[in-house]
Amino acid sequence: MSENNSESTKDNFIEQILNPRSICVFGANNNLMTTMGSMQLRNIIAGGGFNGNIFPVHPRLEKVQGIQAYQSIFDIPIIPDLAFIILPTRIVPQVMEECGQRGVKHLIITSGGFRETGSEGKELSKQIDKIAKKYDMRFIGPNCLGVYNGWYGYPDKRDAYFNTFWIYLPHKRGNISIISQSGTVAAQTAFYTNDLGIKIGKSISVGNERNIDLVDVLRYFKDDPLTEVIGLYIEEIKQGKEFIKLAKATTPYKPIVAIYAGGTQAAARSIMSHTGSISTDNKIYEAVFKETGIISTNSIKDFLYYLRTLSQAQSYKVFPKGNRIGIITDSGGPGAMMTKTAELYGLEIPEFSTELQLEFKKDIPKTASSVNPIDITFHENFMNMFIKFPKLLMKSHEVDAVIVFGVYDFDDIMNVIEKSGMKLDENMKNMKDIFEKIVLKSIKRLMKKYSIPVFFAGPYPYRYPWMQKFIEHDIPIFSMWDDITKCLSILYRYAEYRKNLNPKFKN
């Protein structure tokens, strides 16, 4: 998948944490809805890849969630590849010591209450540091939610995943990898992934970063052949120089999108209270992002949209070669709004040549506009709108990307027709299948053939069936017109950035 000629990540310690063959879990019980450890164990079981090698450790219970439990790690018949600790803070050093004695080399520590809680927590932090050094352990955390790996066991295990987040993460493995200094941000954004068609392959909540930090994980994702787009939620960066060096080496091949949560007094106070981190001035991070080619935003919605847009472009290997946009719309209002925002975001809406306008005039009403945007005024021939007109623009060499506004949910239309007492003919009943087989597959072929991105939008929420058809086929689709030009602008800017740094993309 990756365009980066990377070394194998097979022996990397983060790869080992993402792909354990066996795991012991401290802190789970049978109260499925009331304890975090129990919910996290439930998600590990649901991933379906461990084939019996999950070992709950509990001093009193014989079984935890139907699985044989062990009173101590010393009772487990094998040395687990990974220990997962969700226990009261004061117990964590003792459990780590026992894991070290047993030979466990990799851990995830979810427990909070370390450096973020004052002098006692800082002392406990020093204790776990010493134990990790003593036994040559690598661990994620503390104060984290762990990891999600949609590629768990790939290619041998096609349907398995590994998820320690306390929220179920939809299993749509893809080329996006996320590093987050907030476990909740990493986990709760997953609620949007299904509706938006965001395919996260890997996600790591690094927590307080006592042992493995954001830079360590970024280094791994830089060389990971299954990662093509990287998302960062940042509260502080410890290894500043190394981060800049790594980011500069990564962004010409793999785009990075970042949110920096600090930068204001109130934000810094909030970050200090929940992680103990010290954030710094927003302008410093903005300068770093600009220098390294990182795409930054303060909006979680934009963060997700940018990741999806770049992920699809990386999958198709289709990027705009310039900033000229052709717009096809079913009405003047959306066309005017998209024209305005496109220009505000640095895109150009050129007037089409006379020859091209004459081609469009053959198929649009006399009242329609052929200038750009092409306003077909609700003349809904969807074969023209979704295939013929975009193809004309692609062949014309007059645009670098195409926007089509006018995706409707025909299920609603057909319901209205039926309620009015009219009968649906077979073609109308089969419209969804026809649209999927002919239109959507043709769109994908055209994008690849002409190497020009086509973005679609419609006045519906993403959950509507016809919007979901675009998402199922991994075709760029937007609800309304507000975000479509912003995302195209981001895609154009990234394409220009890497064209200047990566010889492979100069032409």
For residue 142, cis peptide bond before it (omega within 30 degrees of 0): yes
With beta carbons less than 8 A apart as the criterion, state whether 38 and 166 touch: no
Amino acid present at 242: E
Alpha-carbon distance of 336 to 21, in angstroms, equals 56
- Residue 427, judged by CB atoms within 10 A of its CB (0-12, 13-18, 19+), counts as exposed
Give the list of residues 6+ apart from residue 211 with CB closer than 8 angstroms, or none: 129, 132, 137, 138, 139, 140
Please give the backbone phi and psi of residue 67, each rounded to the nearest 5 degrees, phi first: -110, 140
Predicted local confidence at residue 271, as pLDDT: 44
Domains of the chain, with CATH numbers? 13-311 (3.40.50.261), 318-505 (3.40.50.261)
With beta carbons less than 8 A apart as the criterion, state whether 225 and 190 touch: no
Predicted local confidence at residue 276, as pLDDT: 43
Q: Which of the residues in the chain have pLDDT under 70? A: 1-8, 115-118, 167-171, 263-280, 378-380, 427, 429, 506-507
Predicted local confidence at residue 263, as pLDDT: 54
Predicted local confidence at residue 169, as pLDDT: 63
pTM beyond 0.95: the answer is no
Predicted local confidence at residue 116, as pLDDT: 59
Predicted local confidence at residue 15, as pLDDT: 96
Predicted local confidence at residue 146, as pLDDT: 95
